[in-house]
Amino acid sequence: MNNMIGESWVTTTFDTLEDWSTRNSFWPFPFGTACCAIEFMSTVSSHYDVSRFGSEVVRFSPRQSDVLLVAGTINDKMAPVLKKIYDQMPDPKWVISMGACACSGGFYRAYHVMQGIDEVIPVDVYVPGCPPTPEGLIYGILQLKEKVIRERERFRKQNRESKDQEKTQSVNAGAPTS
Amino acid sequence: MSTLAPPQVKTTALPELEAVRAKFPAGSILPQEGLDQPVWIVSRDVLFEVCRELKENPQTQFDMMLDLCGVDFPDREERFEAIYHLYSIQRGARLRLKVPLREDDLVLPSMLKHWKALDWFEREAYDMFGFRFDGHPNLRRILTHEAFQGHPLRKDYDAAKRWILTEDKIYQPHFDLPDNSDDMFERMTINIGPTHPAMHGTFRLMAVLDGETIVASDVEIGYLHRCFEKMSETHTWQHVIPYTDRLNYCSAFINNVGYCKTVEKMLKVEVPPKAVWARMILSEFSRIMDHCVCNGTTLVDAGGLTSFWYLFQPREEIYGLLESVCGARLTVSACRIGGLIQDLPPDFEARCRRLVDMIPQYVQDVETLVNKNRIWIDRSVGVAAISGEDAVNWGWTGPCLRASGVGYDVRRAHPYDLYDTLDFEVPVLYGGDVYDRFRIRMLEIRESLKMIKQLLDRGMPSGPWIVDDPHVALPSKEACYNQMEAMIYHFKLIMDGIHVPEGEVYNMVEGANGELGFYTISDGTSKPYRNHCRAPCFPIFSTFPNLINGGSISDAIVSLGGLNIVAGELER
């Protein structure tokens, strides 16, 4: 093959290409409310440079993003807003919960603070810390990458299996009955 | 040896206050002696007139209302107290007014006519305690949400009792607007936030637009209300320190210092010179960090992203210093009551010197980029301008006030630590607009560097980093493992906490945004009875709708950045 088209070409399957591009280009929606948002700013600015991991295209519109990055305390007043933003994001979508407050309410066991955002939306990766260091957040993003690949593989496998099943069924349906 | 000295008593009656007091019926104003500042217990019936007199009398001139908070004493017959903190910029004098209230009659006169700063303070007192203010035009909840029931800072409210807000109950404002048949454009109401990037994550602005001009606007906050004051009441004195970090998280260290100084004042503890020295240096570095974030994000809001990267680099370097001191970058908790968390690292001075040499270049680069930049000047000069007199009436402090020509700085007016021995200037500008607020922060970064340099030149004082008092500070690990007595003290401090003598104190430091005050009441136990934080952003942000009305919508975005509103501190 290489002899035919030269070294600037790589052959692959479409699924692999799609996997590769999905996991290397998250477009996060930074739902930053508090201290964690400042550490998120550190993560995206030049010193830590999250673009090395393909997640620097920060989008402030839920319609354009696929990762909801909840950075900071979410209280009961903010909860309906968070839910709405999550609902507005197109599938496939993932959620990173950054920091103790978003994960569990942190040390605010209080009358106005939600005890973890998983009360209203599903979470894929929890990043502990108060606030997590930029390294912690980057590790969280890497974990999400792996999770995305696992999810897609499982999805494809299920898809294949169900297709196989359908095929068998249709073959069975077409088989002559005695 | 214990440093818990008996409380100091006697504030001698001040003649100018006595002159005001003589004008009112005997018994309606009772001075309370023996506290940290002059205190009057004022009867509600004369409160409005007393305040008018205090503000307008040329002898007293209390032109600024710093703070209003409530306190709940369930055992008293007059269960609640409303506490006002007054300040006179001209005279540098303070006065605390206490107004006792019965539970069945919680009505106070609204004093918006005297001080506009009270607009949000009165709403907060209504929200937290249920005080009603006669004559307040818009008395509704401010920090908690619309479906909330009860008043959370009352002592009988369970700290963990939550209420669920659903989407249909979210507040929708109603604007009473004059007829617009003459206008060229159709009016449109827009909602920005709370998750809009220009609203910095947690503010909600609702504005009626005529074309691009804002005709009327309303601001909703409370999206980051984290119950700091209630949490303080349920934790021991030391455990409150991490909560203070998360007030103004851009300069967490200054909050630590403010809170610890308040408690030290109640304990009458003398902080060792080394800790004072390090606290000042780290506070000034924190101020620089805070100003970097504020100015960086303001420029981002105006479309200049480059300066943001430039200004974040010194911040990152200062993080390195903080990390070497305490292990944390942002929320440091590096202060302890009576000193610091641990000894300073051996390369502390070298690191500081390197930073002092490095930071001016970044500041210079940004100033070269923007100070004469046509776009930035067009976007900021004259935008959201406020006069010094109005700013004082609205309760502004800090860089924003100094950009309006009023040179009030706590470090100069009421020096604490070693500030009275340092040679520094308080920069004052007179435009009162976004441009001057930006410039004054840049000037303050330079002043802070100057202070740090002077402190470094004096050299690090030798000696311990925390007070040697087993009732306040933990004994060293070595002593703890080898001496019975030290171990007992360690056990007592961990299990029981510090016991702060009964009393109350209002203590302030110059935060990055202005006067950061803690009004703290102790009942002699190991937990604060009441810990109120006077957040400098709170009165500043209450002015916001008035600042932007009549301007264009893009000006509103830039002016929010210039005010440096930090949600953690604003909503506590």
Q: What is the CATH number of domain A27-164?
A: 3.40.50.12280
Give the residue on B whose Cα is nearest the Cα of A59: B197
Residue B39 belongs to some domain of the structure: yes
Residue B517 lies in a domain: yes
- pLDDT confidence of residue B258: 92
Evaluate whether ipTM surpasses 0.90: no
Kindly tell me if the per-residue pLDDT of A177 is higher than 60: no
Kindly determine whether residue A35 and residue B249, on different chains, have CB atoms separated by under 8 Å: yes
Residues B369 and B385 in one domain: yes
Q: What is the largest CA-CA distance in chain B?
A: 85
Give the mean pLDDT per block of 10 residues along chain B (572 residues). 39 74 83 83 88 87 90 88 90 89 89 90 91 88 88 89 85 76 74 81 85 87 89 90 89 91 90 92 92 89 84 88 89 89 90 92 90 88 88 91 90 88 90 90 92 91 87 87 91 88 90 90 90 91 89 88 86 86
Residue B58 shares a structural domain with residue B201: no
Percent of chain A whose predicted confidence (pLDDT) is above 70: 92
* Same domain? B282 vs B397: yes
* Sequential DSSP letters for B285-319: HHHHHHHHHHHHHHHHHTT-HHHHHHHHHHHHHHH
**d(CA A137, nearest CA chain B) in Å:** 14
Question: Domain count of chain B?
Answer: 3
Q: Does A114 have pLDDT greater than 60?
A: yes
Indicate if the pLDDT at residue A95 is higher than 90.
yes
Whether chain A has a CB inside 8 Å of the CB on B379: the answer is no
Confirm or reject contact between B10 and chain A (CB < 8 A).
no
CB < 8 Å to A87, chain B:
none
Listed residue (B272, B311, B275) closest to B291, CA to CA:
B311
Q: Which candidate in A112, A130, A135 is best for mutational testing of the B interface (most B CBs within 10 A)?
A: A112
- Using CA atoms, how far apart are residues B119 and B132, in angstroms rounded to an integer? 13
> A78: buried, middle or exposed (CB in 10 Å: 19+, 13-18, 0-12)?
buried
Residue of B223, B299, B365 to mutate, testing the A interface (most A Cβ within 10 Å of its Cβ): B223
| Residues B198 and B248 occupy one common structural domain | no
The pLDDT of residue A2 is 60
Answer for the pair B247, B513: CB distance below 8 angstroms, yes or no.
no
**B94 occurs within a structural domain:** yes
Domain at B81, CATH number: 3.30.460.80
Instruction: Specify the CATH number for the domain of residue B303.
Output: 1.10.645.10
E strand or H helix that includes residue B428: none
Same domain, B57 and B184: no
**Size of the A and B interface in Cβ pairs below 8 Å:** 129
Residues of A with Cβ-Cβ distance to B225 under 8 angstroms: 75, 77, 112
Highest mean pLDDT among A46-55, A163-172, B122-131 belongs to: B122-131
If asked whether residues B407 and B552 sit together in one domain, one would say yes
Examine residue B158 and state whether it is found in any structural domain, yes or no.
no
B274 contact A CB<8A: no
Say yes or no: B411 and B557 in one domain: yes
Vertex B374: Cα angle to B369 and B377 (nearest 5):
90
A4 has a pLDDT exceeding 80: no
B552 CB near a chain A CB, below 8 Å?
no
Indicate if the pLDDT at residue A139 is higher than 90: yes
The residue segments making up the domain with residue B188 are: 167-220
Q: Are residues B238 and B208 in the same domain?
A: no
A31, A38, A79: residue with CB nearest B250: A38
**Model-level pTM?**
0.88
In a domain, B499, yes or no: no
| Judgement on whether residues B96 and B239 belong to the same structural domain of the protein | no
Asked if B336 and B450 sit in the same domain, the reply is yes
B253 and B297 belong to one structural domain: yes
Task: Return residues 321-340 of B near A (CB < 8 Å).
Answer: 329-331
Q: Do B223 and A76 touch (CB under 8 A)?
A: no
Report if residue B173 sits inside a domain.
Answer: yes
- For residues A85-91, average pLDDT: 90
Are B63 and B120 found together in one domain? yes
Residue B127 neighbours by CB under 8 Å, 6+ apart: B141, B142, B143, B144, B151
